[in-house]
Structure 1
Amino acid sequence: MGSQTSDLWPAPLASTAVDADVRVPGSKSITNRALLLAALADGPSVVGEPLRARDTSLMVGALQALGTRIEEAPEGWRVSPGPLRGPGAVDCGLAGTVMRFVPPVAVLAQGDIDFDGDPRARQRPMGPILDALRDLGGTIDDGGRNALPFTVRGAGSMPGGKVEMDASSSSQFVSALLLAGARYDDGVTVHHVGKPVPSLPHIEMTVGMLRERGVQVDDGDPHTWRVKPGAVRALDTEVEPDLSNAAPFLAAGLVTGGRVRVLGWPETTSQPGDLLREIFGLMGAHVRVDSEGLTLRGPDTIAGVDLDLHDVSELTPVIAAVAALATEPSHLRGIAHIRGHETDRLAALASELNRLGGDVRETDDGLEIRPRPLRGADFRTYHDHRMAHAGAVLGLVVPGVRIEDIATTSKTLPDFTGMWTSMLNREAAA
């Protein structure tokens, strides 16, 4: 992938230990689930304090294309469900939650709904959800590709029932069916077959949000989830801060031996990003949560780790960047499936960390990282927001890192560069 010099962002170097309070915007995972459930609900509701970023704007546009009314309100987005109908066109961008979650809703629409997205989106795994929808009674025309672009030929209802799928490449395939399943005539029973499902906390988040809205979900049997048919109760939602997007800011405190407090960190949450406090603790940080938020104090030296990140794989890029700055080797495991994320994240991380002078080797299901002295270089992002986060963390302590396409961070964090420089300006003024 080539770069034009004008597309390169000089990553700011930290002149001293970072000392800052940070407030991150709302959770993408919660915002998009809340929007979709509000569109299926039995009355209007408000999604309060939502994340406003590319992925959530794409979800708003997708639901509007199906006939849902979504309006700006002082407290967030007001969602008024209407009859689901086509014809319509959905732009998925590069948002997995849109390309996986919306087709199971589109089968309930009366009419055709066309789906497409960014060029890379056409390479992301879609077969399990499209095959499952066909097995449950839906009609989808994808030209035999099992990938974007495709057309869902909505019949106004969906039989539902039992289906087997291999969700080992993404937990979103399971969540997608659970979110819409209560509106199917017979509900839905999803049985996973194959290697373990990654990111199980995201499925637990889905189940919790369904139950909050009165939907009956049975997840008592291994690898099986049952959603009974019935109404989705309208419920106003207050969206929590996005804990995964807090990763680069907390890492800033860790790699500079400083202090970062993420304001509003929930004391209990279903977000997988909550495991950052444990992971960064293993890497040497002191982490504490209180009524004001989560405070991380960085160590003098960073410890290497051996981590299974299967359930929190979206944290891998930032953790890999921190591991490259440690005093000991690290092994990140259980993440073969992130080869199918926004980019092949394992190949991308190995390539870019090695470009900076690192010693990183891909394994069958992860990365082996042996710390080496790093040097400045251009850091490619592959249109992946979390790769950009990793580059920014490295740039705090490695002079001369220039990040390609920093604007890709708008996918989930629209003002990343403003927040990053503000954090460092507070550090300079401290």
Structure 2
Amino acid sequence: MNATAAPKERRWEAPYAEAELDAVVRVPGSKSMTARALILAALASGPSTIRRPLIARDTLLMVEGLRSIGVAVDTGDDDAWVVTPPRRSLRAVDSQSAFKGGTEVDCGLAGTVMRFLPPVAALADGPVGFDGDPHARKRPNDGVIKALRDLGVAIEDGGRMALPFTVNATGNVKGGELEVDASKTSQLVSALLMAAPRFENGLDLRHVGDRPVPSRPYLDMVVHMMRQAGADVDDSEPNRWRVAPGELQGREWVIEPDLQNAAPFLIAAAAVGGRVTVEGWPTETTQAGDKIRDLLVQLGSRVEWSRGGLTVVGSPSVLPVELDLADAAELTPTLAALFGVNKGPFTIRGVAHIRGHETDRVSALVTELRKIGADVDEFEDGFRVNSGGRTTGTWATYADHRMAHAGAVAGLVIPGLVLDDVACVSKTWPDFAEVWERAVRGDA
């Protein structure tokens, strides 16, 4: 099977927890770090090695996209990918299905590909077309398209401001001053910053939206990684980033475990009790998923560090809370599932931007929670679970890996809950369902 192809749907009965959990889990590498390392390595002046990369559909789509513009990526060793930029300039490499003399990039349903790659493609020589899964065409990408046009890059999109579109690259971007509204996604800022050292005049980027940039830890991550690669980045002023033109250095990147993928396992301990350890949890990190530690303590569980990683000793009596998850919105689905099977009240606010993720996650979560019998009020930027429910049935995943994770959490306490499609987890962790089953059975 082609690992970058859209997965075939697979129904899955989420395992019911007959007893408290006792599991040790190793999660794959961070998608966010792997994606950023690939981009920075592609723009560097020499080869880079990415150790313990995430091997999943999103990152493999990124690899194929980089190959299509002349970057050599050797993925022969699962533990160490080698990225070698072209000696001269990036170029639109003719593919088997030649695209107007250029190339095509399949974005799948990956926001990182549809947002991070266009600014890089703008530095190539020749047209680069972007398209993806049907759901991807609904994801907002007006920010990247407008920003590149404001920088003088010609883009054909048929007026959609979304996929599909073509970047008619000429091999050069002048850069300079640029204003954007990044209130829908921090990926817009990350995308522009990473390409900026290769712009002729660098970039002086300002966020001018009425709302703040969401998921700010991801901006800390990209600035930190850019500096590791030798970029001159000044983020001392709020909502402004100045990147000087210059070379990025090839280097070794060591990818941390993906804390967003780890979160459902820790939340599982809070759902049914017991102990769950995630191996290799970093003591210092810029990953937004690290916030789950504090949240679980707030909900009444205990968090312990050990030599092997991070352990949560769960308390199924979850305490009512009101949370602002603007900086860690990816945690919303699995926390929502935890709240959806408990007494409440629980409130999550500050997550309006997740309406533009793989699906409208706020609407999808409210719909699925109501199906299991929860009493839920929906807001523009979140929802309140007044009281939970435990009605079995089918949990829809909306081709969204985080919705599948949420269904798995709900299934711990709802016997016979069936996910209509668990294959969507291939986006960031193809083996999630099998690892989850072992953890619930006590084999992990």
Common topology (TM > 0.5): yes
Structure 2 contact 42–85 (Cα < 8 Å) conserved: yes
Q: Is the alpha carbon distance of 1:341 and 1:156 closer, same or farther for their aligned partners in structure 2, counting shifts above 3 Å?
A: same
Pick from 360, 367, 386 the counterpart of residue 370 of structure 1: 386
Spell out, residue by residue over 1:353-408, the C-alpha distance to the aligned partner (whole angstroms, 9 max, x if none).
Answer: 10011111211210111223311110001100000000000101111210011000
**What is the TM-score normalised by the length of structure 2?**
0.94
Q: Aligned pair 1:85/2:91, yes or no?
A: yes
Match of 1:112 in 2: 127
Match of 1:59 in 2: 62
Match of 1:25 in 2: 28
Structure 2 contact 342–389 (Cα < 8 Å) conserved: no
CA distance in 2, matches of 1:254, 1:131: 43
Structure 1 contact 304–326 (Cα < 8 Å) conserved: no
Match of 2:336 in 1: 320
Match of 1:3 in 2: none
Spell out, residue by residue over 1:143-198, the C-alpha distance to the aligned partner (whole angstroms, 9 max, x if none).
Answer: 12111111101111110111101000000000000010000000011100111110
CA distance in 1, matches of 2:125, 2:221: 29
CA distance in 2, matches of 1:32, 1:299: 35
CA distance in 1, matches of 2:242, 2:305: 35
| Residue 7 (structure 1) shift | 4.1
Match of 1:247 in 2: 263
Spell out, residue by residue over 1:49-104, the C-alpha distance to the aligned partner (whole angstroms, 9 max, x if none).
Answer: 00000100100010001110011254321100013101111000010000000000
Runs (4+) off by over 4 Å: none
Match of 1:397 in 2: 413
Pick from 397, 420, 426 the counterpart of residue 436 of structure 2: 420
CA distance in 2, matches of 1:267, 1:290: 11
SS at structure 2 position matched to 1:331 = strand
| Residue 137 (structure 1) shift | 1.9
CA distance in 2, matches of 1:425, 1:396: 11
CA root-mean-square deviation? 1.2
Gaps of 5+ in 1: 1-5
Q: Give the letter for the 1:93 counterpart.
A: G
Out of 209-218 and 127-136, give the one that drifted further: 127-136
SS at structure 1 position matched to 2:73 = strand
SS at structure 2 position matched to 1:152 = strand
Structure 2 contact 390–413 (Cα < 8 Å) conserved: no
CA distance in 1, matches of 2:222, 2:347: 30
Identity of aligned residues (%): 51
| Residue 32 (structure 1) shift | 0.5
CA distance in 1, matches of 2:333, 2:43: 34
Q: Give the letter for the 2:90 counterpart.
A: L
CA distance in 1, matches of 2:284, 2:383: 30
Pick from 185, 204, 209 the counterpart of residue 200 of structure 2: 185
CA distance in 2, matches of 1:152, 1:372: 47
Pick from 47, 51, 61 the counterpart of residue 48 of structure 1: 51
Structure 2 contact 17–441 (Cα < 8 Å) conserved: no
Q: Give the letter for the 1:346 counterpart.
A: V
**What is the TM-score normalised by the length of structure 1?**
0.97
SS at structure 1 position matched to 2:130 = strand
Pick from 381, 401, 406 the counterpart of residue 385 of structure 1: 401
SS at structure 2 position matched to 1:57 = helix
Q: Give the letter for the 1:330 counterpart.
A: F
CA distance in 1, matches of 2:378, 2:351: 11
Spell out, residue by residue over 1:188-233, the C-alpha distance to the aligned partner (whole angstroms, 9 max, x if none).
Answer: 1110011111001001100000000110000011111111100001
Gaps of 5+ in 2: 1-8, 93-101
Match of 2:111 in 1: 96
Matches within 5 A, 1:122-271: 122-194=137-209, 195-271=211-287
Q: Is the alpha carbon distance of 1:340 and 1:300 closer, same or farther for their aligned partners in structure 2, counting shifts above 3 Å?
A: closer
Q: Give the letter for the 2:276 counterpart.
A: V
SS at structure 2 position matched to 1:311 = coil
CA distance in 2, matches of 1:186, 1:290: 48
Q: Give the letter for the 2:387 counterpart.
A: P
SS at structure 1 position matched to 2:437 = helix
SS at structure 1 position matched to 2:115 = helix
CA distance in 2, matches of 1:190, 1:261: 41
Match of 1:338 in 2: 354
Out of 317-326 and 15-24, give the one that drifted further: 317-326
Structure 1 contact 255–322 (Cα < 8 Å) conserved: yes
Match of 2:5 in 1: none
CA distance in 1, matches of 2:61, 2:262: 22
Match of 1:297 in 2: 313
| Residue 300 (structure 1) shift | 4.3
